[in-house]
Structure 1
Amino acid sequence: MITAGAVEALRVIEEITGEKEANCIGYCIGGTLLAATQAYYVAKRQKSHVKSATYMATIIDFENPGSLGVFINEPVINGLETLNNQFGYFDGRQLAVTFSLLRENTLYWNYYIENYLKGKEPSDFDILYWNSDGTNIPAKIHNFLLRNLYLNNELISPNAVKVNGVGLNLSRVKTPSFFIATQEDHIALWDTSFRGADYLGGESTLVLGESGHVAGIVNPPSRNKYGCYTNTAKFENTKQWLDGTEYHPESWWLRWQAWVTPYAGEQVPARALGNAQYPMIEAAPGRYVLVNLF
């Protein structure tokens, strides 16, 4: 995920555009990957290609993994590892069912009753359509996430996680970061998400949005359906931070735009897509999004 994924992507970006740094965004486990990638740059004594880091509903400290904690124990993880190693991947359909059962009344039984028993057609809802777009996960990645992160919580311990023989130490990451968490998130609890900032060495900005893991993050500024809370004062615990917050009725995206603008640099003309070494394959969004697991 780190060397063949994030590091390679940033290298190719530089080759195509000439830009040596990027303002990076990581959503959910993608944010965990973003933090680990920066720690890898430091461990390799390489210049980081990440100018600013935005963490959306991200867990770095897995001590309290929210509702998923009911599945985090040795027998369950042993069983999943056996299944993953047998097939070489974790089926995205199983992952979708797992997350649905965490909110069984609204994400499982509701559709069983209304659609299957009553025969009603589900209403068009872009977020639920996106939410049902499952992806298979390679066995090695899924096993690592379950055991090393969720069960053993190794990422927050200096040098416990090693990539290509070098240990990762989050405290050496000095990149400025922006954490956006949401109040009703049951996958990445907002206070757990904010605790991740304690392990990074750079300056962090924390914003708490309304709603949950998906709707609270998507929340386009054009609608301003959900507001957000901010607090720049120092705090000893997340309750103290919440008690001192200021509420804003607009989407958190506006707060993020103001934060990231100083790191954005000057505008440049639209670039040609790809280059001779990395030619464009096809127009976005590509054929991959048409592949269906069901």
Structure 2
Amino acid sequence: MRRKEQPTRWKSGALLAGLGLGAAAAWWGVQQWQRLKQTPPVSPRSHHAGLAGYFQQIGEWRMFTRVTPHDAPGLPLVLVHELVMSGRAMEELALALSNNYRVLVPDLPGFGASVLPPSAPVLSVEEQADALWQWLQHNQLTRAIWIGSASGCQVLAALAVRHPEAVAGLVFQGPTVDRHARSLLRQAWRGWRNSRLERHRSSTSLMHVDLAKAGLWRALKNHRLLLHDRIEHRLPYINVPTLLLRGSRDTVSPARWVEELGALLPRGEVLTLRGGTHTLHYVYPWSFRHAIRPFLTRIQQEEQHE
């Protein structure tokens, strides 16, 4: 009987050890998740470069905004991040543009430092656009040049249709969602392929922080909303100068898709950055700046003549 009891005791001990390790791993994961949620909204590097930030109560949302250190004449630039990311991914582009422009980078409600409680509903693309319009008014601005990345372009397209008086010009970088690949699986595959091209400057650490702040439920619900939103239906109604920018190696927003969008815009133009990938604003901020400078200068000049 004793020989038969030994394997049973060994199995029980192994089971208890496994449960203990699982509990320890879960506790460690929760601690790391909470640590990510406490990450400051402005990175130390950007803070030392002069990028500041402030909170405002915009209607029912408490929104965080980054602002560049130098004021500049002319229209301000507003950078709008993709979702589920936050404006942290746009900081280096903001600093690259700050020598010539006043640049503001808000976090959309529910993301980054503009956190919402888990019980709060996920805002639609139209609701995010309305939040940006209220934010613009609250900051005593009437018009701006708006620069969006990926799904941030979807929000800006809705803004331009719903509140055209607030938009002097638009830059859409890597706009989504390609109608030829409108599924979560295909978008995930394209995103993975792009991440392989950006291994030298990966935004994965930023994504972990922003995912922790937004929460998994909000992130999944938001992705579903974005997949069902059709940016191409809004573009024919946008009557301001619009530059569509993509990298030549962008796997998320391929050339065919961006060319289709450009053809739908009454005042659209397409520019391809040679060697660029999908996350141009983060991986190649200075190349991004140089590429859009002529367009921005033209918009500023047109505004002065009006």
TM-score under structure 1 normalisation?
0.48
Q: Which has more radius of gyration?
A: 2
* TM-score, length of structure 2 as denominator length: 0.46
